[in-house]
Amino acid sequence: MGVNIPFLRRGGRGVPARPAPGAAFAEAAGLRVRLGGREVLAGIDLTARAGEVLALVGPNGAGKSTLLAALSADLPAAGGLVRIDGRPVGDWAAPDLALRRSVLPQSAEMSFPFPVGDVVRMGRAPWAGTGHADADEEAVAAAMAATEVAGFAARPFSALSGGERARVALARVLAQQAPLMLLDEPTAALDLRHQELVLRICRERAAAGDAVVVVLHDLGLAAAHADRAAVLHDGRIAAEGPPAEVFGGELLSRVYRQPVEVLPHPRTGIPLVVPVRDAERAAPPEDGRSALRNGTPV
């Protein structure tokens, strides 16, 4: 059953061509965003390319989610320009923009108890009127299988745990099949297994030719799965490039205001970012027993 949403039904709507590998699909040039009278982004230049995973990392308040929202055209720019598929985002009609980019917000909330299967089918709404409705159910089934949510397709979305909701929301994004995926902290509510699952999905979509931009707090996940990382600090990009090149201890210690050391994984060489902790607190007692005896330090 295809998605039938009248206001999106437009005869003859064209489906965008897939971008060439390495093509710039989303671009920010001199991007400035103001919120509440404060400049949150101050002159951002960034490109998301087809076939790559770009991670946005940085401390709380650095501007990661704001940048993602501006790239998706959900936030207006106070200055500069955002392009998607070669055109300023304001030049696209909403239905045509929805065929080119899909967005996963930080939180997935719904006011009505829609079944999980219907929530995922919402991702097919932009395809109404394109003549591709026959692919809806296949796309929905593939997205639910990839995110491991098919087993509770009939359950109300409101009855799910936070992690289950996050995976259903990602399934909706996957079902949309847009060549640009913009994901805001997709792993925040997930356990270890499903964090890896989500980042593997990002890698698979990039291998299939999509441009993937993902906000991550876990620097280890960014180092392991991203082709490039942009480190944001105070509304600016402090460094951008392959994680192995930009994840340096001095830079990250300054940006996060927390001393860290960056070590290569002994088997893969992927950078591991480790906070520097107080040596006396971190070291176990010499005899391996508690450092307290009858409540008295020993």
- pTM (global) more than 0.75: yes
Give the C-alpha distances (Å, rounded to integers) separating 276 from 77, 122, 204, 258.
Answer: 38, 45, 34, 8
Indicate whether 151 belongs to any domain: no
Indicate the pLDDT class of residue 156, thresholds 50, 70 and 90: very high
Q: Is 180 helix (H, G, I), strand (E, B) or coil?
A: strand
Indicate the pLDDT class of residue 13, thresholds 50, 70 and 90: low
Indicate the pLDDT class of residue 297, thresholds 50, 70 and 90: low
- Cβ burial of 279 (10 Å; 0-12, 13-18, 19+) is exposed
Indicate the pLDDT class of residue 182, thresholds 50, 70 and 90: very high
What stretch of H or E contains 41?
strand 38-49
Mean pLDDT of the chain: 90
Indicate whether 84 belongs to any domain: yes
Indicate whether 270 belongs to any domain: yes
Q: Among 66, 79, 81, 63, which Cα is nearest to 24's?
A: 81
Residue 24 in this model has a pLDDT that exceeds 70: yes
Residue 294 in this model has a pLDDT that exceeds 90: no
What is d(CA 227, CA 113) in angstroms, rounded to the nearest whole number?
Answer: 38
Q: Among 30, 26, 65, 68, which Cα is nearest to 47's?
A: 26
Which residues form the domain of 281?
23-112+179-297
Q: Among 155, 212, 214, 164, which Cα is nearest to 189's?
A: 164
| Pairing relationship of beta strands 271-275 and 260-264 according to DSSP bridges | antiparallel
**Percent of the chain whose predicted confidence (pLDDT) is above 90:** 81
Q: How confident is the model over 123-140, as a mean pLDDT? A: 91
What is d(CA 34, CA 40) in angstroms, rounded to the nearest whole number?
Answer: 5
**Partners of residue 292 on adjacent β-strands:** 297
Residue 6 in this model has a pLDDT that exceeds 50: no
> What's residue 298's pLDDT?
47
Q: Among 98, 58, 62, which Cα is nearest to 181's?
A: 98
Phi-psi region of 51 (alpha: psi -120 to 50; beta: other; left: phi over 0): left
> What's residue 119's pLDDT?
97
Contact 186, 198 (CB under 8 A): yes
**Partners of residue 48 on adjacent β-strands:** 26
What stretch of H or E contains 202?
helix 192-207
Give the C-alpha distances (Å, rounded to integers) separating 236 from 46, 106, 164, 205.
Answer: 11, 21, 33, 28
Indicate the pLDDT class of residue 41, thresholds 50, 70 and 90: very high
165's tokens: 């909701």
Indicate the pLDDT class of residue 61, thresholds 50, 70 and 90: very high
Q: Three-state secondary structure along 50-91? A: CCCEEEEECCCCCCHHHHHHHHCCCCCCCEEEEEECCEEHHH
> What's residue 110's pLDDT?
78
Indicate whether 236 belongs to any domain: yes
Indicate the pLDDT class of residue 109, thresholds 50, 70 and 90: confident
Tens of pLDDT, residue by residue over 225-244, are 999 999 999 999 999 999 99
Indicate whether 191 belongs to any domain: yes
**Partners of residue 156 on adjacent β-strands:** 115
Indicate the pLDDT class of residue 14, thresholds 50, 70 and 90: confident
**Percent of the chain whose predicted confidence (pLDDT) is above 70:** 89
Residue 288 in this model has a pLDDT that exceeds 80: no
Indicate the pLDDT class of residue 286, thresholds 50, 70 and 90: low
> What's residue 276's pLDDT?
95
Indicate the pLDDT class of residue 246, thresholds 50, 70 and 90: very high
Q: How confident is the model over 288-292, as a mean pLDDT? A: 50
Q: What type of residue is 240?
A: E
Indicate whether 222 belongs to any domain: yes
CATH code of the domain containing 288 = 3.40.50.300
> How many domains does the chain fold into?
1
Q: What type of residue is 223?
A: A
Indicate the pLDDT class of residue 108, thresholds 50, 70 and 90: confident
Residue 42 in this model has a pLDDT that exceeds 80: yes
> What's residue 284's pLDDT?
60
Indicate whether 167 belongs to any domain: no
Residue 281 in this model has a pLDDT that exceeds 80: no
Indicate whether 196 belongs to any domain: yes
